[in-house]
Amino acid sequence: MNFILFSSYIIFLIILSILIRYLPKERYQFIFTIPYKKLEDGRWMGRNITYYGFFNALGYTAGTVITTVFLLSYGLNFIQIFLMILLVFIICIPSSKLLAYFIEKSPHGFTVGGAVFVGVLVLPVAIYLSLKLTNSSIEFKKILLPVYAVISIGYLVGEGIGRLGCLSFGCCYGKAITEVKSNLLKKVFERFYTVFYGECKKISYASGGCGVKTVPVQPIAILLYITTSFISILMILNGFIVTAILTTTLVSQLYRFYSEFFRSDYRGKGKISSYQKMALLNILIISAYCYIFHDNTNTFDIQKGLPEFLSLQFFILVGTVFIVTFLYTGLSTATYSVIEFKVVDKLKQLPQKS
């Protein structure tokens, strides 16, 4: 198992490194466009479907896969897991848009930090209801921390992949390197930076940062979160559930708190943003859970969960998560397209690339 995890981690790093390099380019913002309204000149207005939505959906799906397999390994059944995930998603996904609107005054954005904060508060209720509705014999106090451990790892993997969407859309971007005050950090970021291209990238139309070297906030988060998630998986497989929870929580929330100081996009009023306050509260809340319930943990038997990986209900669950998330986050409301259709025989009339 350790060899499989290590090999998977190396493959992940290679793929992520390639995507981190190419996604900030202009051509990797939109996957396709759907025409919906014809204009008087014969062209069409189009709705843009983004890579942002694709990578967000991929992140949510990957997190769901990890969560489902490990919870099955712990002894829960599909109905309990489905109810738990459904209750969390029903509240957290809309919350990510509502909190972005109230904090950032952005009608088009989403906030992962806000969704995580809501999820930390909602998850105990979701666990309790899923057990009660299925008349489960599993005690709430014995399952709370294992579920938190699994979901925290799923969250890290999901956000690590989801941050690729931020690179594609040009959102959640860092400050220009020239604005970094620390000389040491400035020297580091002069070698390792992110540059976005394309007038439709958020950094371009919101901050005029097209072609500017910026602090690589997203790439750092991607590599940090994926690395931490693999380490935490090893922890829970060896019975260190509380350690895994604290590791994932401290790494993700402290980085969120610290990285906010290097963000250039609007994060709400005040020197300490609402998202930073949420991150610190998450640490306190989850630490309290670990202190109260730390004696009630068991180990995972991964052999129980893996056989269900190819089951029909598993595919229905993860497929539903991907489709719903992709449609909800992938349909761009901040951009539009103007499309012109031509017959193939008339291609010669179009200007050719030199």
Assign 250 a pLDDT band (cuts: 50, 70, 90).
Answer: very high
Q: How far is CA 15 from CA 22, 230, 350, in A?
A: 11, 15, 37
Q: How many helices (H) and strands (E) does the chain have?
A: 12, 5
Please list the alpha-helical segments (H only) found in the chain.
2-22, 51-74, 78-104, 112-133, 140-169, 183-189, 202-207, 217-237, 241-259, 274-293, 302-305, 312-330
Residues 133-158 have a mean pLDDT of 90
On average, the pLDDT of the chain sits at 88
| Mean pLDDT within 3-12 | 89
pLDDT at residue 99, as a whole number: 82
88-102, 118-132, 188-202, 226-240: least confident range: 88-102
Question: Which tokens in the block code for residue 245?
Answer: 């929870």
Sign, CA torsion 65/67/68/73: positive
Rounded CA-CA distance 269/265 in Å is: 12
Domain residue spans in the chain?
A: 37-339
Tell me which residue of 243, 239, 274 sits closest to 257, measured CA to CA.
274
Can you say whether the dihedral through the CA atoms of 215, 217, 218, 220 is positive or negative?
Answer: positive
Please state, in angstroms and rounded to a whole number, the distance separating the CA atoms of residues 279 and 223: 19
- Does the pLDDT value for residue 285 go beyond 80? yes
Q: Is 267 within 8 Å of 217 (Cβ atoms)?
A: no
Tokens 């402290």 correspond to 254
Q: Average pLDDT in the 307-325 region?
A: 86
- Poorest-confidence range of 28-37, 82-91, 94-103, 277-286? 94-103
Give the model confidence (pLDDT) of 19-30 as tens digits: 999 999 999 999
Q: Residue 352 carries which DSSP code?
A: P
pLDDT of residue 265: 65
Query: Is the torsion defined by CA of 108, 113, 116, 120 positive or negative?
Result: negative
Q: For residue 39, what pLDDT is reported?
A: 92
